Structure 1
Amino acid sequence: MPDQEQIWHVDENDKPIGPVGRDDSRKLGLRYRLVRISVEDRQGNILIQKRTATKKTYPNCWDTSAGGNIDYPESYEQAALRELSEEIGIKVAALDEVAYFYAEAVDPDGNKMNRFTKVYRLVVDEQPELTLQPDEVSEARWVPLAELRDIVLGGAITDGLKQTFEHYYSKQ
């Protein structure tokens, strides 16, 4: 598929192999890179977003503040800054890395998602005005950690929010 978004194909140690089409990486079960961003306010609330009904995977599911694949030839942090700006309209110069993990999953269509993920955090003094990307995000809301825990345990969520909860939020 020549028009596929090109992302990083990496080995079992997260070392770059080269570009690969996003759909091909899942169909072939190749390892790739992903970022997740957690936007938090000083009162302990966490911003989560709901994916649109038109998303191919996990439609109408709650997800981290922002996140996505790392486009070739971006770095993890470049991708995190891009996704934060594109999905919810927040522009910053830097983020704090708070977690790094590898996880394997299968999406609802049976495609393999073998991903190295870095989680970045942005702490804001005041909840910023958001500009949601209409084809990606249907709504966003701020929730305290206890409510996020309830959403993760019983709500319609992405595997990425579940993994981020396990590797980052549950350690707070």
Structure 2
Amino acid sequence: MYRVDELVERVDGRDRVVGVVSRRQAIRERWLHRVAVTVCRDGLGRVLVHRRAEHLSRFPGLYEVVVGGAVTVGESYEQAAARELAEELGVRVLPRLLFTFVNRAGLSPHWLGVHEAVMPDSVMPDSVVPDPDEVAWYGWLTEPELRSALLEWRFTPDSHEAFSRYLALE
């Protein structure tokens, strides 16, 4: 869930903590902080795509290939990714951290921890219960369908950057 006044750790160019600030201040001052996102796949290899709710202050109505949010004070990337999956999709799985990088797309620069979670059959497909305050629509797309959607639909900057790096790992 996007809470602009939550406390986050300000980090340096090597992802080392240098202080605690509000997320609002980190964005306003363009200070590096941490964000954790997860690419969700099902047992068939399809990728979960969702559209952000229209009332959200950040990127309303845009599509995302990743689920995530800010890493709060004292959290690891993995803990934040798992928390965000539970909050936004109602799914409790342990995502696997794949890589981190400084992402300069979006509202302000941030370290982005990109995870992957393969949804077990026990949470597929009806057990995904998106938070309507966060998610207006979701669906499972094959990679060819997703590649087409990335060209035709309006996605968040994080989605494009994170997913292109994610595909480079395969």
User: TM-score under structure 1 normalisation?
Assistant: 0.88
Instruction: Provide, for residues 121-154 of structure 1, a one-character-per-residue CA deviation record: whole Å limited to 9, x for no partner.
Output: 1113432321111211111110011111122222
2:155 pairs with 1:154:
no
Aligned residues between the structures: 164
Q: In structure 2, how many angstroms separate the alpha carbons of the residues matched to 1:87 and 1:141?
A: 14
Q: In structure 2, how many angstroms separate the alpha carbons of the residues matched to 1:116 and 1:97?
A: 13
Letter in 1 for 2:143: L
Letter in 2 for 1:142: W
Q: Secondary structure at the match of 2:5?
A: coil
Letter in 1 for 2:117: L
CA spacing shift, 1:73–1:30, aligned 2, 3 Å: same
Which residues of 2 match residues 134-145 of structure 1 at below 5 A? 134-145=132-143
Q: CA deviation at 1:87?
A: 0.2
2:59 pairs with 1:64:
no
Letter in 2 for 1:119: V
Structure 1 residue ranges (4+ consecutive) displaced by more than 3 angstroms after TM superposition: none
Q: In structure 1, how many angstroms separate the alpha carbons of the residues matched to 2:137 and 2:19?
A: 35
Structure 1 equivalent of residue 166 of structure 2: 168
Q: In structure 2, how many angstroms separate the alpha carbons of the residues matched to 1:8 and 1:114?
A: 13
Instruction: Provide, for residues 74-97 of structure 1, a one-character-per-residue CA deviation record: whole Å limited to 9, x for no partner.
Output: 1111101100000000012x2222
Q: CA deviation at 1:42?
A: 2.1
Q: Secondary structure at the match of 1:105?
A: coil
Structure 1 equivalent of residue 84 of structure 2: 83
User: TM-score under structure 2 normalisation?
Assistant: 0.89
Report if the CA contact (8 A) 2:106-2:158 is conserved.
no
Where does structure 2 lack aligned partners over 5 or more consecutive residues? none
Q: In structure 2, how many angstroms separate the alpha carbons of the residues matched to 1:89 and 1:65?
A: 15
Q: In structure 2, how many angstroms separate the alpha carbons of the residues matched to 1:91 and 1:79?
A: 12
Aligned-residue identity in percent: 28
Q: CA RMSD in A?
A: 1.6
Where does structure 1 lack aligned partners over 5 or more consecutive residues? 108-112
Name which of 103, 112, 116 aligns with 1:117. Answer: 112
Q: In structure 2, how many angstroms separate the alpha carbons of the residues matched to 1:123 and 1:161?
A: 18
Q: In structure 2, how many angstroms separate the alpha carbons of the residues matched to 1:103 and 1:65?
A: 14
Structure 1 equivalent of residue 56 of structure 2: 55
Report if the CA contact (8 A) 2:106-2:156 is conserved.
no
Letter in 2 for 1:41: D
Q: CA deviation at 1:164?
A: 1.3
